[in-house]
Structure 1
Amino acid sequence: MFSNLKQQPADKILALIQAFREDPRENKIDLGVGVYKNAQGQTPIMRAVKAAERKLWEEETTKTYVTLAGDAAFSDTMISLVLGDAVARDRVAAVATPGGTGAVRQAFELVQMANPDARVFVSDPTWPNHLSILKHLGIETVTYRYFDTETCGVDFGAMMADLDQVKAGDLVLLHGCCHNPTGANLNLMQWQQVVDLLNAKGAVPMIDIAYQGFGDGLDKDAAATRLVAANCPEALIAASCSKNFGIYRERTGLLMAVAQEKGLHGVMQGNLAYLSRQNYSFPPDHGGKLVSIVLSDDVLRADWQVELEEVRQGMLALREQLADELRRLSGSDRFGFLAQHRGMFSRLGASPDKVERLRAEHGIYMVGDSRMNIAGLNSRTVPVLAQAIIDVGI
């Protein structure tokens, strides 16, 4: 039987990580891996998370299963963090998932159950795993134009023209903030136009929000998701705690299903629990417990928000430093978009051959489509990257 299996294509980002590790050059720079790093190149445990772990260690009395939906306190605190008061709690069904990826996978499976003929519209580009999961599930995927390689911003006219092709029952996948891989985001006026279009067409929005707090702050980063949830009859939201709580290996995520129609909550909750049972039965709890402890404790929450804001401001400072350095070296403002992008990533708009030259000639690693992780930089390496970008003619 196993002889019928075919070798699967290697994950490009994982292959890039391995190539970086094997590179003997001391001054190499890793801008490929999608993990936050501080100026020392470390992914630290946040102070509030460490304190929550101590508290949990002292107070936890059992390791028995939680419910199929996970700990209710985790769902409640996360729904409050992401949605605020945009939607009544009894209109939101939710389940804990193994990371944001688990939430994305389960959302797609829920759509497949509800409407086997649904198409999923995804931005071009998007996070590669979106496409991989959809392909694996056999769901028809349609791309909509998003990134303008000339301006390195959102091509909103083209995006809306492509979304005009959606039909009732289709799903439209949108990034809540800090678009991965481009760093280019819609403004709230544009979000409202997207909402109006989807409502007119009868399509359902799905928000993947993995970087809340990394862009313009916790509430501003959630504003688009809250707008969608409050103004659409139905919506799906996949939230990740990996980045803003720094608990990558704990695999902590939440899938929310919003249905404004009264009486649907129980059906939605039951179907989400059913999918949990089919996929992994009971969700992991440790990370969710840490998140709920932090968000429920005024002191810990305040400290978490201070540290998260330090992370955000640090990335903004790196963006501004890089844009300024490139302005000085190039004599133009053509890299000014780097200071306008938000989140961990930006897409330079460079060709694959120039990305390869950055690796071969300068030891600078980024994904082949020129997505780079801003958090992989520090104040010392920014000038090195800027000079390399000029040297290879980007």
Structure 2
Amino acid sequence: MSRGNRNRVIAHAIVDGGLTAADAAARFGISRQWASTLANRYREGGDDALEPRSRKPRRSPTRTTEGMRQRILTLRTELAGAGLDDGAESIRDRLTRAGEKAPSVSTIWRILRAEGVVIPQPQKRPRSSIIRFEAVQPNETWQSDFTHWPLADGTDVEIISWLDDHSRYLVRISAHARVTGPIVVATFTSAADTHGLPASTLTDNGMVYTTRFARGGSGPNGFETLLGRLGITQKNGSPAHPQTQGKIERFHQTLKQWLRRQPPADTIQALNQQLEHFQELYNEHRPHRAINRSTPGEAYRSLPKAEPRLRHGDEHWRVRYDTVDNVGTITIRYAGRLRHLGIGRAHAGTPVILLMNGPQTLVTARHTGELLAEHIIDPGRDYQPRKRQKPLPKEGLHVNDVPEHL
């Protein structure tokens, strides 16, 4: 007998058959209270009132409030309008960091889907099928690449970025009319001046980064020479295999998504101001899935930094910009005294980048990346002559020759 029919038999036995609630309870094996309830329901609503009622709670304490639903939709609109990640995980991060009690990622996704604001995506390659490499420490590897972007009048410019492999921290980004070898050297040394030198770099095989595929037997370029002198391992991806530099490639997608939501920049200077703002947003206000929803800045500062093999005691490389004077020297202060570093009269007036590590120096031409001089400072004398420069191997280190990639 179904529950509905059983309820009707009990109610009719009491109301129409003259049984008391106690008698019906004893006969049908139920409580007296339940027998009385069935009789009262029958008197008030007839047989329809005796059908089994839903056991669903009248109120759900975990149900997302209408206010929170609207907050989620508002955040989605704001993030999309700013060109930032606007998925369920990003929305939950924003709510949590604002001190609000956020629903789960799946709940937020269902709310977005119900409102029709989720953009369907094609089936993607399973993550488990991709072999990933990630540096263990900050400054263990910096990835670099450059991409194109138009100014308001359609002029094409190039944006070069330096990204820490471990934390995704953006150590340097800038726009230029064209990215050249000297610009690679200048942006790298500028980043190193602020964040310290990395233990290695990872780039593609563009001529601004390496000449190992150049015809004619040319030697290392300025960037390769600088890395070799500093003890920094240079890694280059396999030709026609951009996945090796996947983090910087993905970063440029994020960058362009944001730039599309900004007013077009009229000049390179204006674009660089936008990039400076983006760098702050990306590093300090945008949690990243691959680093456990931390911001790149939090991840970059959470561990000790890796360093190049070449060190002098506990000293770190320092970076300074200068110009060779008319007698072929530049002046520095070392051990409390001014010292004159010999560069050569042929380089008078040349803007240079000076790197110092204790008594060791490297001087490169700012506009060409050419290594001009090295010194070991003698504390007992004022004038410091150049060291004889040792030639470097022609080719940089291929990424597949590095132990962690074997």
Normalised-by-shorter TM-score class: under 0.3
Structure with the bigger percentage of helix: 1
Larger radius of gyration: 2
What's the TM-score, normalizing by structure 2? 0.22
What's the TM-score, normalizing by structure 1? 0.22
